[in-house]
Amino acid sequence: PAAEAGLYTASDQIVLLSEQNVGSVLVNSSAAMVVEFYASWCGHCISFSPIYKKLARDIKEWKPAVNMAAIDCAADENVKICMEYKIRGYPTIKFFHANSFANSLGMPYRGFSRDVRELRHMIIDSLEYPGDPWPPACPPLEPTSEAEINNFFETNTVQHLALIFEDDKSYIGREVTLDLLQFENITVRRVLDTEEHLVSKLGVTEFPSCYLYYPNGSFERLVVKFEVRTFYVYALQRLPGVVRSGKPPPVFTELLKNRTEEPWRDFNSSRVYMADLESALHYSLRVELALQSVINGQALTALKDYISVLAKYFPGRPVVMNLLKSLNTWLQNQNKGPISYEAFRERVDNTAQVPDAALPEGVRWVGCQGSQPHFRRYPCGVWTLFHVLTVQANNIGDSDPKEVLKAMRNYIHNFFGCRYCAQHFENMAREGLDVVTSLPSAVLWLWYRHNRVNNRIAGDLSEDPFFPKIQWPSPEMCPSCHTVKDNGEHSWNEAQVIPFLGSHFSSSRILTDYLE
Ligand code: FAD
């Protein structure tokens, strides 16, 4: 479709406006809308688009209150709409408050910044513009008072009240309030440093700082590595009882009780299990690929590259490695193509009886167990497998930096059963394999893109409530991976992320529990 030909795709969490949806998206919407009117040929728009995408990821959790959209005014079918909205130059960004009328032209942002943080602040200022309708899903953003807090638990049943103490210029309290808007059992309010009685009652000396306040009047400081937005959000999202709205609170004993098919296998969520990797291989080679009765052309090349990287880098048990190597030798010799799946399968099952070579049958998920049969499992195994492979390739250190990622990309593109996932992954891969110029950058590429996926699907129906999607690893898992810039924005310390991934996915740390 034309919308996909512009600067944004469906993977960017930006509503792509068109003649068909412009009325329903901009008129009478329950969320405020930020809209970029751009032309796909305009250089400024092209250079602004990564910033706009980053902003969309950054405020993804705010969607019920404020959502983002874009429209390519250079596309023939959109010209009329852009004229109606009186667009004179590109890019133009306009803010439409909640419940805008059909004739509303929106409020243009003049001379807007190209900095995600400043854009975010500008959006908050617009939301708070006096007199404009308040989006129904938007929690209060104004500072709270001691009197209001004292009444709070009489009128509310939420478990946690988080108070962010800050000066009136700080946006952190409002940002964190919006970041947690889709979570239950927690309310976030900002308190100004001028609220003297409360400040002295809690002994607050640092601004910003965050305190948890309880119905009996007790309170405690939220302990974080840095007093900034992202660290508050990580910490608040994992307080007991805090869950995404509409999701049942995960109760571990319930999970154990309701399981009918397989017993739960205890595992350490900060470790990688060989049982998951072998299960992923079984599923990939015996179930997913079985859908292809004949494999030829581009698909055959993809399969060869996949089996080749497995034979080279999979850190498996000797019997599994013997199987992968013999499978690889056979496959690389199939020069003419096409091959039948049946012939491939015979090699996977080792009917040629290569000594000491086998891939265990069946799946036994451990670190990739889901609380229900439709959660986690195979896609979790696929991610884990490819992270392990990029890390192994980096450890061995003498190959084409893109080898594993290309094999992954082509496997996903040709065979991954979740076609919708495959399309999104292809959109990301198309955007940026060029940055991969070394083996460590391949490890980082996959980690970073996996986080983009986590960001996009956090809170979706596919999310297991027991395993919420986060920007991984959390500050608890890897404190040194996280840092802050001078302006208070969170940033990843990539120099620390690489060794963290290297250790987390390293062959020597993979646990062999639950293997047959
Ligand atoms: P997963 O995301 O599967 O991660 C597995 C494990 O890897 C985690 O438990 C964690 O230990 C670790 N991990 C988490 N993040 C990172 C990271 N950034 N770097 C390294 N390790 C990490 N689902 C959709 O609903 N929509 C999609 O578009 C979609 N696209 C997908 C594309 C691909 C290529 C794949 C393999 C899967 C896709 N999925 C998609 C499935 C989804 O990403 C998850 O795999 C699935 O929801 C199971 O999630 P999980 O909780 O087991 O964690």
Residues 102 and 162 in one domain: no
Helices (H), 18-77: 22-26, 43-58
Give the integer Cα–Cα distance in Å for 9 and 67: 16
Cα–Cα nearest to 58, from 7, 11, 116: 116
Ligand 1 pocket test: which of 375, 383, 409 has the largest number of ligand atoms within 8 Å of its C-beta? Answer: 383
Give me 161's structure tokens.
């009240």
Assess whether 266 and 392 both reside in one domain.
Answer: yes
Residues 156 and 77 reside in one and the same domain: no
Which domain covers residue 70, as residue numbers? 2-127
Residue 216 confidence (pLDDT): 85
Residues 359 and 461 grouped into a single domain: yes
Could you tell me the two tokens for 286? 């015996």
Tens digit of each residue's pLDDT, the chain (516 residues) = 444 568 999 889 999 999 999 999 999 999 999 999 999 999 999 999 999 999 999 999 999 999 999 999 999 999 999 999 999 999 999 999 999 999 999 999 998 999 999 999 999 999 999 999 999 999 999 999 999 998 898 888 888 999 999 999 999 999 999 999 999 999 999 999 999 999 999 999 999 999 999 988 899 999 999 999 999 999 999 999 999 987 777 777 777 666 667 889 999 999 999 999 999 999 999 999 999 999 999 999 999 999 999 999 999 999 999 999 999 999 999 988 899 999 999 999 999 999 999 999 999 999 999 988 899 999 999 999 999 999 999 999 988 999 999 999 999 999 999 999 999 999 989 877 889 999 999 999 999 999 999 999 999 989 998 899 999 999 999 999 999 999 999 999 999 999 999 999 999 999 999 998
- Do residues 36 and 71 share a domain? yes
Residue whose Cα lies nearest atom 12 of ligand 1: it is 384
Domain stop point among 95, 127, 159: 127
In-domain check, residue 514: no
Alpha carbon of residue 187 to chain centroid: 23
Structure ipTM: 0.99
Domain stops at, among 244, 269, 284? 244
DSSP letter, residue 135: P
Angle at 69 between CA 67 and CA 31, to 5 degrees: 25
Concatenate the DSSP letters of all residues of 84-129 into one string.
HTT--SSSEEEEE-TT--TT---EEPTT--S-HHHHHHHHHHHHT-
Q: 424 in ligand 1 pocket by Cβ < 6 Å?
A: yes
| Domain CATH for 95 | 3.40.30.10
Do 70 and 187 lie in one domain? The reply is no
**450, 472 in Cβ contact below 8 A?**
yes
Ligand 1 atom nearest 450 alpha carbon? 18
What's the domain count of the chain?
Answer: 3
Provide the b/e sequence for 43-75 (b: ≥16 CB within 10 Å): eebeebbeebbebbbbbbbbbbbbbbbbbbbbb
Parallel, antiparallel, or unpaired: how do β-strands 243-244 and 183-184 relate?
A: antiparallel
Question: Is the domain of 187 the same as that of 274?
Answer: no
**How are beta strands 92-96 and 32-38 bridged, if at all?**
antiparallel
Which ligand 1 atom is at minimum distance from the Cα of 387?
20
Domain presence at residue 20 = yes
Quick check: is 251 in a domain?
no
pLDDT for 1 equals 42
Residue 379: the pLDDT is 98
CA-to-CA dists, residue 370 to 146, 252, 268, 380, 493, angstroms: 43, 12, 14, 10, 30
Report the CATH number that the domain containing residue 449 is assigned in CATH. 1.20.120.310
